Chain A
Amino acid sequence: MRNDPVYQDILDAIDTCNLSKASVAWYGFGSFFTGSDSFSDIDLLAVCATVKETSVIRAKLATLCGEWPIHLLIMTESEAAETNFINSQLCISLTAVHAELG
C-alpha cells in the first residue's frame, strides 16, 4: 500500500490543505489500507468538529479525488461517535502514519 503512488499523494494532499494539524482527524479503511492486492477504491475518512469544516474538506480534496478512485467519507465528531465507524471499520489513523513518516 505504501509503495503505491496514490498513498504519497494522499499524505501530500492532507499536508498541503493545512487541515491535518487543525481539528481534522484522517483515517484510511477498506481494502487499499488492509493491503489487498487489488482494490476498487481507496476509502478515506475525515472527522471534523463542525459542519462548516465538512464543506472545506470536500473542496480542498477535490483535486486528489478528481485523479484517484477515492471514496471520501466526511463525518462530524458527533456522527463518528453515533456510528462508531472508526472502530467498526477498523480505521487506520493517517495522522499517526504521517507523523511517523516525517
Chain B
Amino acid sequence: MPRPPQDTTTWVSDNIARTTAVAGTTVTSPFTFRVERNDRPAFEVLVLSCPQVIDAVLNPLLAALPPVSFVVNVPKDGVWTQSGIAAAHHHQCAFGGIAELMSAIYHKLDDVSEFVKRENAFVERGLLQHDRVSHFDQEYDRVYMVHRLGMKSLRVVLLNEYELTAEHVRTARTKYGPFDIILMTNPNGTSTKDAKEAAKGMQIVALPWRQFLGRLGTP
C-alpha cells in the first residue's frame, strides 16, 4: 500500500530541516511544507510522489493550495513530462527532486521560484549558442529534441551518472523510447565497456559535453 501523502511530506520536511541553511520547517498541509531559512525569506514547497509528473496531477493541486515556490517530486526515477514542466512554469514554481530542492536552498535565492537546475541551464545555454542548432524542445526534464540547420534533428537524453552502465542505457531506452545520443553530463563520468556495447546495439552514442557539441555539427 502506498504511503499517505502526509507521511511523505513529513519525511521530506524533516530531511530538509536538517540542512545547514535552514532554520526550520513546518508541515502546512498533507502536500506542503514551509521552509524557514536563516538569512533569506521563507518559502512553501509542494511534495509529489509520482512516476510521471503531468499537468493533470499538478494543476489541480497548484490551483487549490496557497502559492508555492518549489514543486518537489520524491522518486529519483520520477520523470517530469513536458506538460508537467509547463504547469510548473505557468504557476511560477521551480521544480525538481530533493537534490534540486537542496540546491535551490544552497543557492540562497531570495525568490526560490527562480531556481533552474544547473545541469539543464548549462545544456540549454550550450544549445542556444551552437551555430548549427536552430531550436530545441524539452520533451522531459532529461530529454531534448535538438533541431539543426539543414540536418536531421537529434533526440538527446541527459544522464548524470558517475559510472554509466549497460543497464542505464537499456533503462533510458525503455523510459524515453528511441533516441540518438546520451549526453553524459557528469564531468567526471565514464561508461563501462558493456554500456558502450549496449548503446552501439541500439544505434545510440554516449558522449561527453565537448564531443556532443562536435556531433551537433556533423550530419
- Interface positions of A (Cβ within 8 A of B): 5-6, 37-41, 51, 54-55, 58, 65-76, 78-79, 82-83, 85
Q: Contacts A41-B76, A65-B76, A67-B49 known; A74 to B167 CB distance under 8 Å?
A: yes
Question: Which 8 A-B pairs rank lowest in CB-CB distance, beginning with the nearest?
Answer: A40-B99, A38-B18, A54-B167, A37-B18, A74-B167, A79-B192, A38-B19, A69-B76
A26 → chain B closest CB, angstroms = 15
- For B62-81 the 0/1 string (1 means CB < 8 A from A) is 00000000000011111000
In angstroms, Cα B50 to Cα A67, docked, is 8
B54 at the interface (CB under 8 A from A): no
- Interface positions of B (Cβ within 8 A of A): 2-3, 8, 11, 15-16, 18-19, 49, 51, 74-78, 97-99, 102, 161, 163, 165-167, 170-171, 190, 192-195
Q: B99 and A66: CB pair below 8 A?
A: no
In angstroms, Cα B170 to Cα A50, docked, is 14
B118 → chain A closest CB, angstroms = 13
Q: B194 and A76: CB pair below 8 A?
A: yes
Question: What residues on A are CB-neighbors of B51 within 8 Å?
Answer: 66
A42 → chain B closest CB, angstroms = 8
